[in-house]
Amino acid sequence: MKQPTTNPAIDKVNRGLRRRYRAERRFRICGATAIITALCFLFLLFFSIVANGYKAFQKTYIQIDVFFDPAEFANENLATANFPGLVKTSMSSLFPEVNSRGDKKELFYLVSPGASFQLMQLVKNNPNLIGQQQSVWVAANDDVDMLLKGHIDRTRPETERRVSDKQLAWLDALAADGKIKKTFNTTFFTSGDSREPELAGIWGATCGSFYTLLITLSLSFPIGVAAAVYLEEFAPKNRWTDIIEVNINNLAAVPSIVYGLLGLAVFINFFGMPRSTPVVGGLVLTLMTLPIIIIASRASLKSVPPSIREAALGIGASKMQMVAHHVLPLALPGMLTGTIIGMAHALGETAPLLMVGMVAFIVDIPHGFTDPATVLPVQIYLWSDSPERAFVEKTSAAIMVLLIFLFLMNAAAVYLRKRFEIKW
Amino acid sequence: MKKSILLASALIAGLFAGSTAQAAGRDYISIVGSSTVYPFSTVVAEQYGKTTNFKTPKIESTGTGGGFKLFCSGVGVEYPDISNASRAIKKSEFDTCQANGVKDIIEIKIGYDGIVFANSKKTAPLKLTRKDIFLALAKDVPDPKGGDKLVPNPYKTWQDIDPALPAVKIEVLGPPPTSGTRDAFVELTMETGAKTFPFIHDMEKKDKNMFKATTQTIREDGAYIEAGENDNLIVQKLEANPSALGIFGYSFLDQNADMIQGSIVENESPTFENIASGKYPVSRPLFFYVKKAHVDVIPGIKEYLAEFTSEKAWGAEGYLADKGMIPMDKKERDSIAEAAKNLSTLTMK
């Protein structure tokens, strides 16, 4: 028989103790399970993206010997020369036994249609090449690329794969001669969009994203900070400022497509700005990120203790000096963090841009704010919708690039917070 | 602080000045419209941009209807020059165009696209008729017990419709109502399939609305799954679920022939040759429309037309055929190329 303790309260605690420990353990396990589940999904996402896309950073090339026949360059204008003909002649010289028209077509299909533009570029850069023989590594067609990367199964019956038995034999012969190589895919980082997967790149979309975000940043940061400072430090507290506050909080939750519709109505239809350009896209994203920045900036202004303000006012600073010299510098790290998170939002946004025409096929790399442009997430969307198999890995590769940008921006936000954080 | 404000305002002022100056003249072609024509017009645009000194056209995939809405809003550099369409322009759209001052429109037919019903290679291909498809997918179907009465669709498996078909649950992944592919699919299979029933055929004359409702309403009990506009996604889902059937354009079948196969419709399989010759019954023409008033204002439109209507692009051996577009026959190509050269405009009564 257990000896009763003298204090009945302790008894009561002791009786419930085990149950309370159990409850706590359950609670902790729940939390840990939630985290582990989230991590599993994250890992699955990264794994599937990387597994799908890492091969896109490599590209297959075929070596051909080109004779830049002077007869082809009789015309002054280089662009009119028959470069596709040069490629075809070179391919034929590799396999002189191929004669029939159908077979030749299959043979020429092994190299990318971009090969002729590559030769054109070579001759443009160095006109002395005319009349010379040179061996050139040209891009292979996307189907060849897919085959060599193992995305096309060569054991399948011929009718079920996009590379015929003859093409397989030629490729094997080329590989045996060392005329096929895989190297780092620079095209992917230096060129604009293309309908040929082997020629498509993300540089155009990256530039578009850059110009768009530059507009967004240069408008939304000053406006957002000014609005926050006024609301927090100068505005009287009355019904009007309450209404404004409620509206700003509401706007932060409005679906982004609504901003796109607004942008279409105001900037394009009313002000007549050009469609599909970073100016319009940037303005629309400014509208979208403003509430986020205002809310973050107000929170960070609120966290500056009133003693700072009172001390500044007490030694005779004007209200503006108090804000500009003391409160704002202290609140700035928090504001920057909010801005960067807002920018990261804007970088990943497609819906509002759909309405202002930035979801478009654009080959030329934009060189300014009024050139037609598209942005990274839109490029991902467009590629994911393309029928060619090779765009699957391009899509994943572009997602990786976008994720890296997002990661860098969020890391910058964390760094700023840690670096300049002031504990009161 | 002051400096940065000055800088920002200068930047903004510069931007606005730049954008208005730009709006005054546009040096690239602006194209909008159908997502079905998009893969073909983009290839032409890229080729055109690389082989001429003009800038590469900008192409937005807005859907056929959305394209016409933009195209018909007016004449001027802020409006698109060309609209792609996976069906011919409707009278109502033509009238909108006229009302907004877009008087002269050039219609150019570019080729055909087949709509295929495909399933995974892991199972046998289906042999369907348009009547089967109608019975499988319509919301209300004629009473299987007979009589001219419509009852909610009772069919659960393909075998319920035709004993020759497999005893597999009806599960079809297809495009949503906003898609041009859906319009064409409804018109080419559902309507034709429904008309095999005499009383529905008669309904077309007696009660047009009832006819439309009967033939165009797709069942909503889970047998038809709207899979979004992304056809690649449908292909992946078919691979994962061998009993499902998917509806999409021929080019996706062409690119994924190792994973999926097209069902045989009315005894014809969806091959390039069968669609080109018109034997395969579910195919539709593709078009694009050009604003004549823009032809001499925006540089390069004539050259773009020439590129699109050249044999190396839309010919039987052309690069568009490589991308999965079904070419027209030589005679038709020649006459349309001639019309494109002369900029013959469309009239509609």
- Tell me the per-residue pLDDT of A323-336, one tens digit each, with 9 for 90 and over: 999 999 999 988 99
Residue A230 lies in a domain: yes
Whether residue A370 and residue B256 make contact (CB cut-off 8 A), yes or no, is no
| A134 and A256 assigned to the same domain | no
Q: Tell me, what's the pLDDT at B239?
A: 86
Distance CA A318, CA B134 (A): 79
Asked whether the beta carbons of A287 and A263 are under 8 A apart, the reply is: yes
Domains of chain B: 27-112+285-342 (3.40.190.10), 114-283 (3.40.190.10)
Whether residue A364 and residue B11 make contact (CB cut-off 8 A), yes or no, is no
| A298 and A396 assigned to the same domain | yes
Whether residue B231 and residue A156 make contact (CB cut-off 8 A), yes or no, is no
| A158 and A299 assigned to the same domain | no
Distance of CA B26 to CAs A17, A406, B30, B74, Å? 78, 34, 9, 15
Find residue B117's DSSP bridge partners: B247
| A312 and A351 assigned to the same domain | yes
Chain B stretch 41-100, residues whose beta carbon is closer than 8 A to a beta carbon of chain A: 42-43, 45-46, 49-51, 53, 55-56, 58-61, 78
Whether residue B45 and residue A156 make contact (CB cut-off 8 A), yes or no, is no
Question: From the list B8, B39, B251, which residue is nearest A222 (CB)?
Answer: B8
- The more confidently predicted of residues A76 and B9 is A76
Distance CA B104, CA B110 (A): 19
Distance CA B262, CA A358 (A): 35
Compute the C-alpha angle B275/B279/B284, nearest 5°: 50
Query: Residue A277 belongs to a domain with what CATH number?
Result: 1.10.3720.10
Q: Tell me, what's the pLDDT at B9?
A: 56
Please tell me the distance in Å from B241's CA to the nearest CA on chain A.
Answer: 19
Q: Tell me, what's the pLDDT at B19?
A: 46
- As a whole number, mean pLDDT of residues B113-127 equals 89
Question: Which chain B residues are closer than 8 Å to A361 by Cβ?
Answer: 38, 42, 45, 58-61
| A360 and A313 assigned to the same domain | yes
Strands (E), B168-210: 172-174
Residue A15 lies in a domain: no
Taking 70 as the pLDDT cut, the residues of chain A under it are 1-5, 75-76, 79-80, 423-424
Number of neighbouring beta carbons within 10 Å of residue B142 = 21
| A103 and A223 assigned to the same domain | no
Residue A188 lies in a domain: no
Q: How many domains does chain A have?
A: 2
Q: Which of A48, A121, A221, A275 to mutate to test the interface with B (most CBs of B within 10 A)?
A: A275
| A311 and A231 assigned to the same domain | yes
pLDDT band at B20 (very low <50, low <70, confident <90, very high): very low
Residue A54 lies in a domain: no
Whether residue A195 and residue B323 make contact (CB cut-off 8 A), yes or no, is yes
Q: Using the predicted structure, report yes or no on whether residue B292 has a pLDDT greater than 80.
A: yes
Q: Which of A163, A359, A362 to mutate to test the interface with B (most CBs of B within 10 A)?
A: A362
Q: Tell me, what's the pLDDT at B52?
A: 86
Residue A318 lies in a domain: yes
Q: Tell me, what's the pLDDT at B23?
A: 46
Between chain A and chain B, the number of residue pairs with CB atoms below 8 A apart is 113
Question: Which chain B residues are closer than 8 Å to A102 by Cβ?
Answer: none
B140-142/B127-128 β-pairing:
unpaired
**What DSSP assignment string belongs to A120-161?**
HHHHHH-GGGTT-EEEEEEEBPHHHHHHHTTSS-TTS-GGGS
Position of tokens 């002054």?
A: A76
Distance CA B97, CA B68 (A): 8
* For helices B208-216 and B198-206, angle between their N-to-C axes, nearest 10 degrees: 130
Please tell me the distance in Å from B58's CA to the nearest CA on chain A.
Answer: 5
Number of neighbouring beta carbons within 10 Å of residue A102 = 10
Please tell me the distance in Å from B236's CA to the nearest CA on chain A.
Answer: 11
| A277 and A319 assigned to the same domain | yes
Residue A345 lies in a domain: yes
Q: Using the predicted structure, report yes or no on whether residue B187 has a pLDDT greater than 90.
A: no
Q: Tell me, what's the pLDDT at B248?
A: 86
Q: Tell me, what's the pLDDT at B22?
A: 45
Please tell me the distance in Å from A372's CA to the nearest CA on chain B.
Answer: 7
Residue A405 lies in a domain: yes
Q: Dihedral of CA B202/B208/B212/B214: which sign?
A: negative
| A137 and A249 assigned to the same domain | no
| A66 and A135 assigned to the same domain | yes
Please tell me the distance in Å from A218's CA to the nearest CA on chain B.
Answer: 6
**Chosen domain end from A150, A183, A216:** A183
Please tell me the distance in Å from A254's CA to the nearest CA on chain B.
Answer: 23
Question: Which chain A residues are closer than 8 Å to B19 by Cβ?
Answer: 273-274, 277, 279, 369-370
**Per-chain mean pLDDT for chain B:** 85
| A179 and A209 assigned to the same domain | no
For chain A, the first-to-last Cα distance in angstroms comes to 56
Question: From the list B18, B49, B256, which residue is nearest A369 (CB)?
Answer: B18
pLDDT band at B14 (very low <50, low <70, confident <90, very high): low
Q: Give the chain A residue whose CA is nearest to the CA of B43.
A: A195
Q: Does the predicted interface ipTM exceed a cut of 0.90?
A: no
Write out the residue range of the structural domain in which residue A353 sits: 203-420
| A295 and A394 assigned to the same domain | yes
Residue A148 lies in a domain: yes
